[in-house]
Structure formats: structure tokens, C-alpha cells
Chains A and B, each alone.
Chain A
Amino acid sequence: MNAVAWLTQLLEVLAALILAPLFLGWVNACRAWLQNRRAPSVLLPYHGIRKLFHKDAVIATDASPLFRLAPYVVFGAMVAAAAVIPSMGTGLPFRSAADAIALVGLLAIARVFMSLAAMDIGTAFGTLGARREMMIGFLAEPALLMVIFVASLLSATTALPLIAERLVVQPLALYPSLAFTAVAFTMVLLAENARIPVDNPATHLELTMIHEAMLLEYSARHLALMEWAAALKLFNYACIGFALFVPWGASIGATGIGALALSLPALLAKLAVAGLWLALLETVSAKLRVFRAPEFMATAFMFAVLGLLVHLLLGA
């Protein structure tokens, strides 16, 4: 392990922590523009998190220690996930700690703790959110795993940095199987990050909430950590997508400082395009009823399976 690798690792985690709220702000701003509204500042999520950290926390009398622990665990799992996703470079020292399957496990830790915390106080909305979140989770996980399977069949490994590396190193070619799985992955991303059409991040109606319903009882620093973790989750998913489908731009292997310096603008450019694309998808689709979500996720799963079959039949 050389110094550059550790520098990449450090920069990558810092970039995730710093860029995640910006990415969220960018998606929200794009969405506002596309809907002919005046956009809020792209820096708004930072202000929100800063404001929350400077407030006194209010915790329900019925809350157990689990309720106060959960934001830290959720945040910790998301940062750990950011540390193993090759967003800027693939020569990460932590890359051998977790492959893509373990990454899915890390995301599941966050989901389970968030749901448990939502059930802790025993409000109707909290349990409703927890139940729906777990439902979306179990529907999305097989689809996500099939996506990872197809990518790992192409590159003969489940280690995310190696998947990215091999895609870059191979001569440029069109992989029809990846096209199908990219569609599936986008659908999983929308569902898992509480975006339209599965959940509406801007909703004020408690009965239609999923993600927000779980956070209703949180305040101040705990809420700030939960919000930051949610932004990190969106960022992480975007970076998983980049590693699986468009790894170009990230520094490959143990290269020098130059490639690392180039990888930041590349990441920013990819995030800008991805944010615009997400906002576009959210603008042109309508929110589904909660029980249409299984159909949505089943479609995602079928796309991933199609990708798998295409790969096995055509070998590409």
C-alpha cells in the first residue's frame, strides 16, 4: 500500500461526505427547473444540516437508547459503504474489506437500524414507515443482487473496484447485458432512495410517506445525521452505478497523483449528468400507489434477469 492509495481513500471518503449534500441539492434544483419553479440554492442541504446541528435535541420520553444510537449506526454504515465504493480511484486500501455483496449488506444495516428506530417510540406513522421501508428493501435487494451478478459475470469478480477496472481496461465494446441491467439499476436506485415513483421526498402527507415517516420523531443532531446519511445513500448509489456502468475517469489501480487529480472533475461531471437524469426521470413519472411498488420492482428484477440471459446467450 503506497501513500497515493491511502490519499485516494481519504479523499474519496471526504469527497463523499462533502459532495453528498451538494448532489442532493443539485437533484432538487434540477427538478425545480424542469418543473418551471424557481430552484432553491444547491447549497440548501448544507444549510439544513448546519442548522440542525446547532439546535437542542428533543427526544420522546418513550424512546430507548436504540433510538439515539440508530443515527450514528446508519451514518457509520453509509460512510463505510462510501469507503469501499470506487468513486474516485480503484486502488483503495479498504477495497478488500467488502465486495459488492458485503456492500449490499452494509446498506441493509442502515435500513434495518432506521426501521427499528422508527418502531422504537411506537407511533402509528413510525411503524407504517418502517413496514413500508422494509417492504421496498426486500423487493429491491434481489434486483440489485442480480445487477451485481451480471456485472460480476462480465468481469469474473464481485469486488466493485475490480469490476470497474476490468471494464476500463477491456477494449471499448457495447455490452447489451449491461444496458438491461443499467435500466434495472436505475429503478432500484429510485426505489431505494425514496424518490418518485416509489416515494416522494417533497411530500407533506404523512400517509403517503415512507422515508420521511421514519424520521418524524427525530430532531436536531440526530435528524441532521439521518438527513446526511440519506444524502450519502443517494451519492453511494450513484457511485455504485458509475463503477458498474461508466467507470471512465476514475483513477485506475495504483497510479500517480495526476490521475487522482483528474478523477475529481470527472466525478463532478458524472454526478452533474446523473443528477439531471434523475430529476428528469422524477419529473416525467407519477408517484405510484404503495402497492404498485412490487410491480415496479418486479420489472426491475426482470430487466436484470434479461441482462443475465443476454449475457449467457450472447456472451457479452
Chain B
Amino acid sequence: MLKTAIYGVLRVTFDLIGDPLWWWGLIPLALGLATAIFGVIFAAVQTDMKRLLAYSSVENIGVLFTGIGLAIVFHGLGMTELAALALIAVLYHSVNHAFMKSLLFLGTGAVLHATGERNLGRLGGLIHRMPWVAWLTLVGVLAIAGLPPLNGFVSEWLLLQTFLFSHEVPQPFVNMLLPLGAAIVALAAALAGYVMVKFFGIVFLGQPRESSLAVAHDVDGFEKAGLVWLAIGCVLLGLLPNQVIHALGAATEQLVGAAPNLAGQSWWMLAPLTERAVSYAPLVLLAVIVGVIMATFLIVRVVYRRAVRRAPTWDCGFGRLDPRMQDTAEGFGQPIRHIFVSFFEMERELPSPLDQSPRYRVKVSDRFWKGVYLPIAGLLQRAANSVAWLQQGRISVYLTYSFITLVLLLAVML
């Protein structure tokens, strides 16, 4: 759904307008970078599963707009090949995001269905109760955190490679500021990793925070299939980038008149920029990692045949561990609140040391909601109110309106 906007923006800028000026690109670029950072920072402090994922979508849309901005800049300056590469990154990321986010939303849906709970503070330990959902969601989590060899990494890699060229833009100052955008993209990607560790760790790992979670059940049949094919999509999109880029090339050909030249390259290696000699081979990388893991496992098994014993949690000898001592969603987001304090509006109620029944309450809200959306909504409401008297509910009045409009139009045309 969100990507419809991306489609619209691409069609309007490259198809309808045709030849955008290069500096127009700076606007979506700046907006995109700001959106990415805001989205991911707010995702990090959410306590509701679905709100967390929604803010993460805000971040991804920001990343997409960053790519569109770069594409416009390059296209406007006649650097067609780079514009095509930036657009490929955008389209690739859109496809990736469709798979990853659908997988994560289906996963949270399964959790919601099984537990009736969306609040992260009341979940936990579901990997024991719902292993299918947990492990498949883990694929989505690793993908959206931008880890190789999954799909999220490929589009991020392409975008960063495109950014590396931005110093070649023949405009003073702009060519120095653009590479800094790459650092913001990297920060957003690294923060996305933070958000996803929080999301997965609190929902699926640790101990259940509520006793009611003991009845949670795993998905079955069709639900499983729905998750599995999305997870497979995430893996394949990550492992076979050349094939995906080849398919997307047709679209960039139409939009900016060029497509990355992948002819004569090995099918398993992504090397879109021949003059830079950079390459990325996810299959080889995966093979190396899996090979090392298997070898290590076998050596450990064969050479050191030692038993595994189960015992209660050690926790440095502390004997009275209970599930309330784990990090809550608020607790895990605390470093973000601390570092990016100026981004948030916080209401805090701190207990005094003498309090007999201490309470701690914190409410974090979005400055944009109050500062931008509510005023706009208020303005619309007032505008609507001021024209509301036009609505009389009588057909004769409406006929009069039509008549007056007709007369006015005739007067204008004649």
C-alpha cells in the first residue's frame, strides 16, 4: 500500500514531468533522510508491536525517497547510468520491503491471534510456544535489519554504492554534502538493527512476562504457508540479486533511459559498476558462513565430546530471578530516548525515594503529531466548518448551485 505513493512519485517525476531539474532531487533527498531518521528513532521507543512496525515503515519510505532524490539529481545532470542505479536501489528496496514487512506483520498477526496481546510489555518467550512463527519472523527481522546475505542488505548496498558516486556531481558544496547523506542512511540502517533486536528479543525471547502466554499456540497449515513463502522470498531476493536487477532494469529503462549492464557477468555475483571493481556475492558469502558453522560444529562434536547439562539460570548467583526483571520495551528503548532526547516530547512521573508505593510512568509522544498533523487537521476542520453552510440538504438549493456554476463557466468561456 505504501509503495503506491512511491509508484506515483516515480511516474510523475520521470514520466509526466519528464526532465526534472537536478536540484529538485535535493528536496526528496533531504526529506527522505529526515524521515528515515525520525521513523527509526520513533520505532525504537514504541511499546506496541504494530506501531513499532509502522514507524519502521516510515523509515523505509524515507530511505526510498532518499534514493529517488539521488536518482533525480543524477538524471537532471545527465549522469544516466547512476540515475538508473539509484532507481534500481529504490525499486529493489520497494520489493524487499513488501516481502519483509508483510512477513513481519503476518508474524505479529499470528502472535496477536495466539495471545490477544499487542503490547510488547506483556509478551516474551514465545519462541518456545510458537517456534514456527518465531524462526520465520527471525528471517524477516534479519532481512529488515540489513544483514547479509538477506534481501534488505542488497538494496542498502546498492544505495550506499550510489552515494559513493555523489562526490562526482559537478556542483560545488553539493558534492561535499551528499556523501554525508550516506552516513545518515548508515545510521538509519544501524538503528533499524537496534529496533529489530528489540522487537524480536522482547516478543520471542526471554521469559514470558504474563502467565496467560502459556496457552499461546503455534500457527498451522495455511498460516504457516503464508509465512513460509514470504520468508523464502526474502532469502531468494537476497541470494539472487542479478536476476532481480535484470527484471527491474526494464522499468528504469523506461523511466531514465538506461539500465545497469549486467551482461557477461557471473549469475551469482553482483557487480553493477564495472569501473569500480566492487562486487558482492551473497551465495559465496552464505556458503562460507554455513561451511564454517558446519565445520566448527562437527569438530566440536567429534573432537570434544562433552555433554550438555540443563540447569537453572545462573545470573551471577542471583537466585530470585523473575520475568519482571527483564528489559521491558521502554527499558530497551531507553538509550535512544537518552541520546535523541530532543526528538521526543516526554511526560515523566518519577517516584520520590520516600514514596511508599512508588510509581514510574513515562509517556513519549511524537512532536510531529502535535506540531504538524494536528494543526493541519485543525485547519482543514475549520475550512470545512466555514463552508458547511453551503450544505442545506434541499434539492432546489443544489440545483441553484449547479445553475450558478453553469452560468459562471459560460461567462468565463465566452
| Residues of A participating in the B interface, judged by any CB pair closer than 8 Å | 53-62, 64, 66, 72-73, 75-77, 79-80, 83, 94, 96-99, 101-102, 105-106, 108-109, 111-112, 115-116, 119-125, 127-128, 130-132, 134-135, 137-139, 141-142, 145-146, 149, 152-153, 156-159, 162, 206, 216-217, 220-221, 225, 291, 294, 301, 305, 308-309, 312-313
Q: Looking at the complex, which of B82-90, B193-201, B347-355 is the stretch in contact with chain A? A: B193-201
**Known contacts A57-B308, A116-B197, A123-B326, A72 near B182 by CB under 8 Å:** no
**Known contacts A80-B289, A105-B147, A106-B148, A120 near B190 by CB under 8 Å:** no
Evaluate contact between A217 and B313: CB separation under 8 angstroms: yes
A6 CB to closest chain B CB (Å) equals 14
CA distance A143 to B189 in the complex (A): 13
Query: Could you say which residues of chain A place their CB within 8 Å of the CB of B114?
Result: none
Evaluate contact between A141 and B164: CB separation under 8 angstroms: no
Evaluate contact between B289 and A116: CB separation under 8 angstroms: no
**Known contacts A101-B160, A108-B146, A225-B296, A309 near B176 by CB under 8 Å:** yes
Evaluate contact between A120 and B205: CB separation under 8 angstroms: yes
A177 CB to closest chain B CB (Å) equals 12
**Known contacts A57-B308, A121-B313, A149-B179, A158 near B278 by CB under 8 Å:** yes
Partner of B292, one of A75, A124, A142, A312: A75
Query: Could you say which residues of chain A place their CB within 8 Å of the CB of B190?
Result: 108, 137-139, 141-142
Evaluate contact between B207 and A62: CB separation under 8 angstroms: yes
**Residue B332 interfacial (CB < 8 Å):** yes
A71 CB to closest chain B CB (Å) equals 9
**Known contacts A145-B183, A149-B164, A57 near B309 by CB under 8 Å:** yes
| Residues of B participating in the A interface, judged by any CB pair closer than 8 Å | 124-125, 127-128, 138, 142, 145-148, 153, 157, 160-161, 164, 167, 175-176, 179-180, 182-184, 186-187, 189-191, 193-194, 196-198, 200-202, 205-207, 269, 271, 275-281, 284-285, 288-290, 292-293, 296-297, 300, 303-304, 306-316, 321, 323, 325-327, 331-332, 334-336, 338-339
Partner of A115, one of B201, B276, B300: B201
Evaluate contact between B148 and A102: CB separation under 8 angstroms: yes
> Beyond the given A122-B326, A221-B306, could you list 12 further A-B residue pairs with CB under 8 A, ordered by the A residue number?
A66-B127, A76-B290, A76-B296, A108-B193, A122-B321, A123-B321, A127-B201, A139-B190, A142-B187, A157-B277, A157-B278, A159-B278
Query: Could you say which residues of chain B place their CB within 8 Å of the CB of A153?
Result: 164, 167, 179
CA distance A146 to B183 in the complex (A): 6
Query: Could you say which residues of chain A place their CB within 8 Å of the CB of B311?
Result: 58-61
Query: Which single residue of chain A is at the shortest CB-CB distance from B276?
Result: A157
Query: Could you say which residues of chain B place their CB within 8 Å of the CB of A301?
Result: 183
Partner of A134, one of B193, B206, B271, B310: B193
Evaluate contact between B280 and A108: CB separation under 8 angstroms: no
Query: Could you say which residues of chain A place their CB within 8 Å of the CB of B336?
Result: 135
Nearest 3 Cβ contacts at the A-B interface: A122-B206, A119-B201, A127-B327
Evaluate contact between B339 and A76: CB separation under 8 angstroms: no
Evaluate contact between A138 and B191: CB separation under 8 angstroms: yes
Can you list 10 A-B contacts with CB-CB less than 8 angstroms, sorted by A residue number? A64-B127, A80-B289, A116-B200, A116-B201, A122-B205, A135-B339, A153-B164, A156-B275, A220-B306, A225-B300
Query: Could you say which residues of chain B place their CB within 8 Å of the CB of A112?
Result: 142, 145, 147, 193, 196-197
Partner of A97, one of B187, B194, B281: B281
Query: Which single residue of chain B is at the shortest CB-CB distance from A127?
Result: B327
CA distance A298 to B196 in the complex (A): 23
CA distance A52 to B187 in the complex (A): 37
Query: Could you say which residues of chain A place their CB within 8 Å of the CB of B325?
Result: 123-124
Partner of B332, one of A127, A139, A158: A127
Evaluate contact between B296 and A75: CB separation under 8 angstroms: yes
B155 CB to closest chain A CB (Å) equals 12
Evaluate contact between B182 and A149: CB separation under 8 angstroms: yes
Evaluate contact between A127 and B153: CB separation under 8 angstroms: no
Evaluate contact between B157 and A130: CB separation under 8 angstroms: no
Evaluate contact between B313 and A145: CB separation under 8 angstroms: no
Evaluate contact between A305 and B180: CB separation under 8 angstroms: yes
Partner of B186, one of A141, A217, A220: A141
**Known contacts A127-B326, A137-B194, A217-B314, A54 near B304 by CB under 8 Å:** yes
A10 CB to closest chain B CB (Å) equals 13
Evaluate contact between A79 and B292: CB separation under 8 angstroms: yes
Evaluate contact between A55 and B269: CB separation under 8 angstroms: no
Query: Which single residue of chain A is at the shortest CB-CB distance from B279?
Result: A96
**Known contacts A72-B297, A158-B276, A138 near B194 by CB under 8 Å:** yes
Query: Could you say which residues of chain A place their CB within 8 Å of the CB of B160?
Result: 101, 145
Evaluate contact between A119 and B167: CB separation under 8 angstroms: no
Query: Could you say which residues of chain B place their CB within 8 Å of the CB of A312?
Result: 167, 175-176, 179
B168 CB to closest chain A CB (Å) equals 10
Query: Could you say which residues of chain B place their CB within 8 Å of the CB of A221?
Result: 300, 304, 306
Query: Could you say which residues of chain A place their CB within 8 Å of the CB of B275?
Result: 156
Which residue, A55, A102, A120, A220, has most C-beta atoms of chain B within 10 A?
A102
Query: Could you say which residues of chain B place their CB within 8 Å of the CB of A149?
Result: 164, 179, 182-183
CA distance A96 to B269 in the complex (A): 8
Evaluate contact between A216 and B175: CB separation under 8 angstroms: no
Query: Which single residue of chain A is at the shortest CB-CB distance from B325?
Result: A124
